[in-house]
């Protein structure tokens, strides 16, 4: 039976937004009050796949594409709430089945490609969803039933089923939020090859040059509708070696560097300024094989065996054996918070104190639980040590956990494996009995949105864990239009269930740091946004 | 001479065929690029479409036959990542690599040959000892460490030179020295031992007995003969610089061919790896061929034997 839903809260929310929206947009005067000048040079480890077309970039390019592109919505830097961007307001109706976006008038595409209209937005969404699209949001955009251009500045998007979190899919304020709005006119006239060589968008920075594997150069758009940058040029250099990035920053060759938490002490020692980006990813150990309905299910895997109680004891033991606090301190350089709750961050409204508390470090109890579960002498585990882009610390987390497990009698075989090799197993769920460290970036603010991909039996892909109870929560949350009710379900029902079920080894939320040179002044970042963003608001330091 | 030339060329073509076959098989054993090009949540249909688009859905022998046929027509295919012609990527990176290789080679020869020669002539002297210390350090210091130390001293502390990237002439000094130091030390040692051997030979003694000036004995009769192994070594090293400078290119963020190939291996960009290796092995084999001819020029005995 379909739950009874009220659309009143949605309408109220939409009206409220319409009323307060203009005050949430960062005033252009808050950005470069004077004409942009100078160059801001940034050294990053990777440019991702270095693609510029919406159906060809995956999401890892977020950092280098974001200066140029814009989305319909963004997140308020302070509260994390949805805020207007290219859409000055929006309306959600029919319990989340219909989303109407009212575009800002007068927003221009770069290089004289004309004004942004609803046709551009419709074209972008259709491109994201087309067959063979590599965009990470393609599955979500394929849920669109129809799109109607009401007038040049109004687009209505309709879904078969309620899509209450669609606002998070068209959002500049999240990592890998790659529904960047493209110019239909440019894409059609330049064709794929031309548009790839010279992309055009509406953002505060316009494309100048891209030397593959070496540099990407942007130039400030003066009198931009939202924020005229303080710097005239923004140059991204690809510098894969972290020591070189550090040296380049210290030598003044670059102004901003991407750096891992393991360098935090070193940066401090040499007096380099850092910027903290708090709670950008959630670190945990995936215990592969918890998918009893799939062909690759192996009932002999201790943590996924059919005897649910014994399996749970094993999973709890694997948690108790690990000192999460020590991992946070020694592996992540103190840049994070050990947490017991799943896919939640300390300041989230659904993260209650009871949920946040991690399972204690208690190797003796872990051994006892293993014995109770029928493994007094431990068992064999393979720990994959696989680095993921932007999360180079993961093999070290895996190694630390493996060492703790060995102390309680578990025999761990370390398997350093490249992501390309493991990816096929990951997709095919062919890693039953294998554990690996993973960090989910904050690509969606609500935990159920992440679980929709990682723990939902009916989703196209279920990478991590499946359970009828989890499906039930996801089903309810996905169509629940009231944000407050979703908060309640996550805090009072799904959160406690996950904490009780213990799907893996929860480590906690991790922060990221950035090294800054003397040229850089203020840099307002959006809490929870992994990777660089908001370049247009980076000010020049006062001399 | 012609028979020798044709035989060597046939050998070169055969070797390249073997190389591309090995690279073709190895790249395909190392993972599927589709998994890196698509999001983990991509559907089976998206995977199939991309596999088809990249021609990876065909049986391996068919893929191999298409690849060899295209290569013979000068078509190396498109990068699976950028979907641009592979040759475009190679040409984009080759100038940076050649620039670094030439300067590093120039530095190596400029330092290694005279030092090796004088070290042999002044055997046991202070200069010889200093040169040997230089050689031992050069051959034992990893390029990675040396590069970082040079960056620290000359870029961070003294601020004389940039820490990385490609730009004006000042950008090439540190990477070229890092790359060239190891080889200059090797060239020094090789020149020294070759000179020592040559200086002990009868014809040098005879030249001295004839009363030829020492300058002529050393430079004309000594060095020319001692250079034989050095030339072989230097040419081979230069070719290695073009593809094997990956550590130096990474440390100094130098956008060269070595880094392109390494990154393409990581991303399973088969066409770039295949073309890159083919270009490098082509250069290597051409270098070998060149050395054979240089041998003939430098050593008349070899020239006459081949004729």
pLDDT of residue A25: 43
Question: Sheet holding A154-159: strands in order across?
Answer: A87-93, A98-103, A154-159, A144-151
Q: Which helix (H) or strand (E) holds B104?
A: helix B86-121
| A345: pLDDT strictly greater than 60 | yes
The pair of three-digit structure tokens given for residue A10, joined into one six-digit string: 């949605």
User: Could you count the other beta carbons within 10 Å of the beta carbon of residue B126?
Assistant: 8
| A132: pLDDT strictly greater than 80 | yes
- Residue B203: strand, helix, or coil: helix
pLDDT of residue A12: 41
Integer Cα distance of B62 and B73 in angstroms = 17
Q: Who among B36, B81, B253 is closest to A239 (CB)? A: B253
3-state secondary structure A185-227: HHHHHHHHHHHHHCCCCCCCEEEEEEECCCEEEEEECCCCCCC
Q: How many CB pairs under 8 A join A and B?
A: 137
Burial grade of A262 (CB within 10 A; 0-12, 13-18, 19 or more): middle
Q: Which helix (H) or strand (E) holds A44?
A: strand A39-44
Instruction: Answer whether A31's CB lies under 8 Å from A230's CB.
Output: yes
Q: Who among A136, A237, A453 is closest to B253 (CB)? A: A237
Integer Cα distance of A44 and B151 in angstroms = 18
Range in A73-77, A212-216, B69-73, B226-230 the model is least confident about = B226-230
Instruction: Answer whether A442's CB lies under 8 Å from A389's CB.
Output: no
User: Could you count the other beta carbons within 10 Å of the beta carbon of residue B260?
Assistant: 28
User: Could you count the other beta carbons within 10 Å of the beta carbon of residue A300?
Assistant: 11
| Rounded mean pLDDT, A225-248 | 92
Exposure letters A190-226 (e unless 16+ CB within 10 A, then b): beeeebbeebbbbbbbbbeebebbbbbbbbbbeebbb
| Rounded mean pLDDT, A276-298 | 91
C-alpha count within 13 angstroms, C-beta hemisphere, residue B81: 25
Q: What is the dihedral of CA A221, A223, A225, A229, to 10 degrees?
A: 50
Q: Is B41 close to A136, i.e. CB distance below 8 A?
A: yes
Q: Is A248 close to B31, i.e. CB distance below 8 A?
A: no
pLDDT of residue B298: 66
| Rounded mean pLDDT, A397-424 | 90
The pair of three-digit structure tokens given for residue B272, joined into one six-digit string: 């770039």
Q: Which helix (H) or strand (E) holds B132?
A: helix B126-140
User: Could you count the other beta carbons within 10 Å of the beta carbon of residue A89?
Assistant: 18
pLDDT of residue B243: 67
* Unique residue bearing structure tokens 């020295």: B177
Q: CB-based contact (8 Å) between B29 and chain A?
A: no
Q: Who among A211, A418, A459 is closest to B255 (CB)? A: A211
Q: Is A239 close to B164, i.e. CB distance below 8 A?
A: yes
Regions of chain B with pLDDT less than 50: none
For chain A, the helix, strand and coil percentages under 3-state DSSP, each to the nearest 5: 35, 20, 45
* Entry field: residues in chain B: 307
Q: Is B31 close to A50, i.e. CB distance below 8 A?
A: no
The predicted-structure confidence for B159-212, as pLDDT tens digits, reads as follows 889 988 888 889 999 999 999 888 888 888 888 888 888 888 888 888 888 888
- Residue A382: strand, helix, or coil: strand
pLDDT of residue A23: 35
Mean pLDDT, all residues of chain A: 88
More confident residue, A23 or A211: A211
The pair of three-digit structure tokens given for residue A407, joined into one six-digit string: 């102390």
Integer Cα distance of B172 and B254 in angstroms = 9
Kindly report the nearest CA distance between residue A19 and chain B, in angstroms: 37
User: Residue A44: what are its φ and ψ, rounded to 5°?
Assistant: -120, 160
**pLDDT range class, residue A2, cuts 50, 70, 90:** very low
The pair of three-digit structure tokens given for residue A356, joined into one six-digit string: 């946040």
Listed by number, the residues of chain B in 30-89 with a beta carbon closer than 8 Å to a beta carbon of chain A are 30-33, 35-43, 45-46, 49-50, 53, 81-83, 89
Q: Is B89 close to A212, i.e. CB distance below 8 A?
A: yes
Q: CB-based contact (8 Å) between B100 and chain A?
A: no
> Model's pTM, two decimal places?
0.84
Contacting residues for A492 by C-beta, under 8 A, at least 6 apart = none
pLDDT of residue A22: 38
């Amino acid at each position: 039976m379909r739950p009874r839903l009220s659309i009143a809260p949605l309408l109220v929310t939409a009206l409220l937004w319409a009323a307060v929206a203009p005050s949430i947009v960062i005033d252009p005067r808050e950005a470069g009050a004077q004409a942009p000048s100078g160059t801001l040079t940034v050294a990053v480890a990777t440019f991702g796949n270095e693609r510029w077309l919406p159906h060809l970039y995956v999401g890892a390019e977020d950092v280098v594409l974001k200066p140029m592109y814009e989305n319909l919505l963004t997140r308020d830097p302070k509260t994390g709430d949805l805020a207007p961007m290219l859409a000055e307001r929006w309306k959600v109706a029919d319990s989340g089945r219909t989303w109407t976006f009212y575009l800002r008038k007068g927003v221009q595409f770069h290089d004289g490609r004309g004004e942004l209209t609803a046709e551009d937005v419709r074209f972008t969404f259709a491109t994201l969803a087309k067959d063979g699209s590599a965009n990470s949001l393609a599955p979500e955009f394929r849920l669109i039933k129809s799109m109607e251009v009401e007038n040049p500045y109004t687009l209505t998007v309709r879904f078969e089923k309620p899509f209450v979190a669609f606002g998070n899919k068209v959002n500049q304020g999240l990592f890998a939020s790659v529904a960047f709005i493209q110019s239909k006119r440019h894409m059609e006239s330049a064709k794929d090859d031309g548009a790839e060589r010279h992309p055009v968008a509406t953002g505060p920075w316009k494309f100048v040059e891209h030397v593959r594997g070496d540099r990407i150069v942007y130039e400030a758009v003066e009198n931009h509708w939202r924020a005229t940058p303080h710097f005239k040029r923004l140059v991204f250099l690809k510098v894969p070696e972290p020591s070189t990035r550090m040296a380049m920053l210290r030598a003044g060759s670059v102004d901003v560097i991407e750096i891992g938490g393991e360098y935090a002490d070193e940066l401090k020692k040499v007096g380099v300024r850092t910027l903290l980006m708090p709670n950008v990813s959630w670190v945990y150990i995936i215990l592969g094989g918890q998918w009893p309905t799939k062909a690759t299910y192996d009932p002999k895997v201790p943590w996924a065996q059919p005897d649910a109680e014994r399996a749970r004891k094993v999973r709890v033991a694997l948690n108790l054996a690990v000192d999460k606090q020590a991992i946070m301190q020694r592996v992540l350089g103190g840049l994070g918070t050990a947490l017991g709750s799943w896919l939640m961050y300390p300041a989230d409204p659904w993260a209650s104190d009871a949920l946040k508390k991690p399972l204690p470090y208690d190797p003796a109890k872990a051994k006892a639980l293993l014995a109770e579960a029928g493994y007094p002498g431990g068992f064999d585990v393979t720990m994959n040590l696989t680095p993921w882009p932007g999360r180079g610390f993961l093999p070290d987390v895996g190694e630390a956990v493996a060492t703790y497990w060995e102390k309680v009698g578990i025999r761990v075989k370390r398997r350093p494996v490249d992501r390309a090799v493991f990816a096929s197993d990951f997709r095919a769920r062919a890693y039953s009995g294998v554990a690996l460290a993973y960090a989910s970036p904050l690509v969606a603010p609500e935990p159920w949105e992440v679980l929709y991909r990682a723990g939902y039996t009916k989703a196209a892909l279920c990478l991590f864990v499946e359970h009828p109870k989890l499906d039930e929560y996801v089903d309810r949350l996905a169509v629940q239009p009231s944000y407050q009710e979703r908060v309640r379900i996550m805090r009072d029902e799904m959160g406690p269930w996950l904490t009780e079920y213990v799907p893996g080894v929860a480590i906690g939320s991790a922060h990221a740091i950035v090294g800054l040179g003397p040229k850089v002044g203020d840099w307002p970042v959006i809490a929870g946004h992994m990777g660089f963003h908001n370049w247009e608001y980076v000010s020049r330091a006062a001399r | 001479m012609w028979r020798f030339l044709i035989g060597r060329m046939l050998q070169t073509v055969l070797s390249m065929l073997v190389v591309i076959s090995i690279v073709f098989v190895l790249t395909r054993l190392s993972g599927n690029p589709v998994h890196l090009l698509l999001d983990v949540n991509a559907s089976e249909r998206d995977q199939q479409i991309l596999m088809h688009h990249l021609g990876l859905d065909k049986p391996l022998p068919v893929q191999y036959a298409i690849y060899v046929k295209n290569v013979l027509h000068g078509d190396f295919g498109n990068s699976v990542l950028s979907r641009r012609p592979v040759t475009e990527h190679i040409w984009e990176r080759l100038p940076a690599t050649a620039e670094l290789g030439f300067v590093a080679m120039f530095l190596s020869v400029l330092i290694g040959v005279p030092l090796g020669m004088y070290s042999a002539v002044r055997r046991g002297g202070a200069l010889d000892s200093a040169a040997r210390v230089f050689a031992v350090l050069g051959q034992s210091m990893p390029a990675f460490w040396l590069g970082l130390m040079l960056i620290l001293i000359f870029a961070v502390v003294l601020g004389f030179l940039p820490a990385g990237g490609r730009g004006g002439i000042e950008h090439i000094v540190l990477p070229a020295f890092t790359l060239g130091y190891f080889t200059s030390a090797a060239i020094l040692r090789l020149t020294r031992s070759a000179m020592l051997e040559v200086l002990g030979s009868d014809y040098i003694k005879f030249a001295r007995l004839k009363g030829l000036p020492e300058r002529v004995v050393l430079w004309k009769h000594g060095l020319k003969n001692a250079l034989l192994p050095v030339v072989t070594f230097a040419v081979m090293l230069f070719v290695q610089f073009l593809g094997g400078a990956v550590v130096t290119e990474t440390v100094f963020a130098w956008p060269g061919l070595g880094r392109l190939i390494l990154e393409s291996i990581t991303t399973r960009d088969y066409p770039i790896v295949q073309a890159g290796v083919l270009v490098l092995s082509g250069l290597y084999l051409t270098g070998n061929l060149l050395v054979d001819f240089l041998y003939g020029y430098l050593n008349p005995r070899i020239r006459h034997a081949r004729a």
